[in-house]
A and B are shown apart, each in its own frame.
Chain A
Amino acid sequence: MSGIVEAILYVLAHIHFLVIGVAGGIIVGAIPGLSGSTGIILMLPFLIYIEPSSALIMMSGLFCGSMFGGSIAAVLISTPGTPSAAATLLDGYPLTQKGQAGKALGVALVASTAGGIISTLCLIFLAPQLAKIALKFGPSEYFALMIFGLTIMASVSSSSLTKGLLSGFFGLLLSMVGLNPSLGTERFTFGITRLLVGFSTMPVLIGLFAISEVLSQVERLNEGTLRRVSSKHKIGEILPRPKELKGLWKVILGSSLLGTIIGIIPATGGSIASYMAYNETKRFSKDPESFGKGNLAGIAAPEAANNATTGGAMIPLITLGIPGDVVTSVMLGALMIIGVQPGPLLFSQSPQIVNNLFVGFLAAQFLMLVLGYFSIRAANLIFKVPLGILYPTILCLCLLGAYSLGNSAYDVLLAMIFGVVGYFMKKYGFSAPSVILGLILGPIAEQELGRALIISYGDWTVLFRSPLSIMFYVFAIFSVIYSLGLFKKKKPAGR
């Protein structure tokens, strides 16, 4: 109990980090092309200089804020700011056309807050229990868990399963460069001394996600496919009336629970949750014909669900060290950079960080309600940031961020190289999150495999003896089958 009181006091004393996180999240979420993961990358240069707890609550605030921010662009300009807000525009934009943009955004804000609170409560109550189970894991269980984590790279791939998996294996190859974890001998350095320390996550993250984005935007602007957006619609009245909210509470509650469950399952995420919640709400509605024409339930359902995935996705991240979606996979990299190793040991070794996260995550939801209200009022200003100032600042900040971790221009060079690689990867349908997953989870998998085999004197069957290990392999197989199913569904749509 004293831990929670300490955490409340800590969050109150560091509320400015949370405010920056939530406000930054709403802004990056609202700008089409930028997302929560880009926001975390842009914050990285600052995160490494603040306390891990503050960095963690700042990232959590950004994660939650970006989910709501995505709905601003979806409702006002019919362009989802983030993929998770794609379902919101179905009923959000028709309301804007009717002159009720404020009401649509107000419902999105209330539903997002409710979804976030429900999923945070699940995070607070479920995570410690799951961490207790995870503490019983040995090297073979951890290895199986990492294999399960690596199968996520199949589902975070965007266009082709082969390219997604190839990207993941590219990340795994990169992760092997440097020193052999068991022997301490050098490997795959090809005579380059700099490569002895391997590839740091920070420049790779910055290059693949942020610098590549700047290069892509230069191309899109010059090819004429990047259009400046602004909404000419009036915002109007913002907060929904109590009577309207009364009619939506069942939708919000159901969608929040659905979103939380989907968030917990690794390899899913906000976009799946929001579409599922939208479909289910429409299916059980007494008036399904009104969906797509400005039904408030059609906004509340996806927004509650996508914000609920935030707390859900944090559960496997902090208890097992495996990310639930693209944003949490970037967050995993960021956590490791700031010196926080997610996993069950975090609960026993740094309980205060966990408590601070819980309180910070909950506080972020209420802060989102306040900042969200003002951001709706100022929504049109967000779209007026000139590209000619936004992107040069992003580029300079990224290069500086790459430099500042090791005070080395070599890291700037790495970020630049991975920026170019990331640009081509994005252009030709390869998956940057898969590379990051491979780069982060690969060394842990190798280390645990080595430990398991040393303990068992080289007996490989040790990997399949524990029921927990078998459970993770089964999950891994299901994850791959699920991804195959997703790609089969995507194909006809693409055609």
Chain B
Amino acid sequence: MGKIDVICGLITGAFSILFYIGTLSFPEMSIGINPRAYPMVIIAAAFGFSLLLIVQGALKMRREKRHVQVRRGETAARAKTLPRGKTAWYLLILAAAMLAYALTMEDLGYIIVTPPLAAMTMWFFGERKPLKILLVSILIAVVLYWVFRSAFRVPLPRSFIW
């Protein structure tokens, strides 16, 4: 967990530095608030807390190495590490499927891209009957399409079939 804190601190610290670089191009102003003042306070605080998290993480790592602090058994420790094995693959595939969904929905149409995503999610949640997956995933897409298109008049992206 200490290592994770250090990594998170480094990521947020890098994020703060990126924002600091962004302030360098700000124009100067003679009246009211300097456009750099407010962002700099936020960036400095974010950077400060990132450093604090890195220090806390490093101290935690030292304690973990010495086995001084025993946390709620192995299960809890494992839960805080990055997902592995089948779970990691499921999460990666689901994230990739959502990304593909977002990138293709305007070209392929809502009614085409939704059932595969719903079916995949059903599979990840333990559904194994192909017919049930097929019918439910199509039903989810059609019901949501009908509700948003007809009731709320949302112009959902249409496909070549519908």
Q: Which A residues are within 8 Å of any B CB, using their own CB?
A: 45-46, 49, 160, 162-163, 165-166, 169-170, 172-173, 176, 180, 182-183, 185, 187-188, 190, 211, 214-215, 217-219, 221-223, 225, 386-393, 395-397, 399-400, 403-404, 407, 409-410, 412-413, 416, 419-420, 423, 427-428, 430, 442, 446, 449-450, 453-454, 457-458, 495
Residues of A within 8 A of B156 (CB): 400, 403-404
Which 9 residue pairs across A and B have the least CB separation, nearest first?
Answer: A388-B127, A392-B121, A169-B46, A454-B32, A49-B152, A413-B102, A412-B102, A416-B98, A166-B49
**What are 22 A-to-B residue pairs whose CB atoms are below 8 Å?**
A45-B148, A163-B8, A165-B45, A169-B49, A172-B46, A176-B39, A182-B29, A187-B26, A218-B91, A218-B124, A219-B83, A219-B87, A389-B127, A392-B125, A396-B140, A399-B101, A399-B117, A409-B103, A412-B105, A416-B99, A423-B91, A458-B32
Residues of A within 8 A of B124 (CB): 218, 221-222
Cα-based distance from A183 to B34 in the complex (angstroms): 10
Cα-based distance from A147 to B87 in the complex (angstroms): 41
Q: A221-B125, A388-B127, A407-B155 are in contact. Are A449 and B50 (CB under 8 A)?
A: no
The listed residue (B39, B53, B98) touching A211 by CB distance below 8 A is B98
The listed residue (A176, A182, A219, A412) touching B101 by CB distance below 8 A is A412
Docked-complex contact A162 and B22, CB < 8 angstroms? no
Residues of B within 8 A of A399 (CB): 98, 101-102, 117
Cα-based distance from A173 to B83 in the complex (angstroms): 28
Docked-complex contact A166 and B50, CB < 8 angstroms? yes
The listed residue (B53, B80, B148) touching A404 by CB distance below 8 A is B148
Docked-complex contact B29 and A166, CB < 8 angstroms? no
Q: A162-B52, A407-B154 are in contact. Are A173 and B15 (CB under 8 A)?
A: yes
Quick one: closest B residue to A214, CB to CB? Answer: B121
Docked-complex contact A218 and B125, CB < 8 angstroms? yes
Cα-based distance from A46 to B33 in the complex (angstroms): 40
A180 to B: closest C-beta gap in Å? 6
A383 to B: closest C-beta gap in Å? 16
Q: A170-B15, A172-B42, A388-B125 are in contact. List 17 more A-B contacts (CB 8 A).
A: A46-B152, A173-B16, A173-B42, A173-B43, A182-B33, A187-B23, A214-B121, A215-B95, A219-B90, A222-B87, A388-B136, A396-B140, A399-B117, A407-B154, A412-B101, A428-B8, A454-B33
Q: Which B residues are within 8 Å of any A CB, using their own CB?
A: 4-5, 8, 12, 15-16, 18-19, 22-23, 26-27, 29, 31-33, 35, 38-39, 42-43, 45-46, 49-50, 52-53, 56, 69, 79-80, 83, 86-87, 90-91, 94-95, 98-99, 101-103, 105-106, 110, 114, 117-119, 121-122, 124-127, 136-137, 140-141, 144, 148, 151-157
Docked-complex contact A165 and B49, CB < 8 angstroms? yes
B74 to A: closest C-beta gap in Å? 13
Cα-based distance from A211 to B95 in the complex (angstroms): 10
Residues of B within 8 A of A397 (CB): 144
Docked-complex contact A404 and B154, CB < 8 angstroms? yes
Residues of A within 8 A of B31 (CB): 454, 457-458
Cα-based distance from A413 to B102 in the complex (angstroms): 5
Docked-complex contact A427 and B80, CB < 8 angstroms? yes
Cα-based distance from A190 to B22 in the complex (angstroms): 7
Cα-based distance from A221 to B126 in the complex (angstroms): 8
The listed residue (A46, A391, A396, A430) touching B141 by CB distance below 8 A is A396
Docked-complex contact B39 and A187, CB < 8 angstroms? yes
Q: A388-B126, A391-B121, A391-B125 are in contact. Are A225 and B155 (CB under 8 A)?
A: no
Docked-complex contact B114 and A396, CB < 8 angstroms? yes
Docked-complex contact B19 and A173, CB < 8 angstroms? yes
Residues of A within 8 A of B27 (CB): 183, 185
Docked-complex contact A389 and B122, CB < 8 angstroms? yes
Docked-complex contact B46 and A173, CB < 8 angstroms? yes
Cα-based distance from A442 to B43 in the complex (angstroms): 13
Quick one: closest B residue to A394, CB to CB? Answer: B121
Cα-based distance from A183 to B38 in the complex (angstroms): 13
Residues of A within 8 A of B140 (CB): 392-393, 396
Docked-complex contact A453 and B33, CB < 8 angstroms? yes
Docked-complex contact B125 and A166, CB < 8 angstroms? no
Residues of B within 8 A of A404 (CB): 148, 152, 154, 156
Residues of B within 8 A of A176 (CB): 19, 38-39, 42
Docked-complex contact A180 and B35, CB < 8 angstroms? yes
Cα-based distance from A428 to B82 in the complex (angstroms): 10
Residues of A within 8 A of B103 (CB): 409, 413
Docked-complex contact B35 and A218, CB < 8 angstroms? no
B41 to A: closest C-beta gap in Å? 9
Residues of A within 8 A of B16 (CB): 173
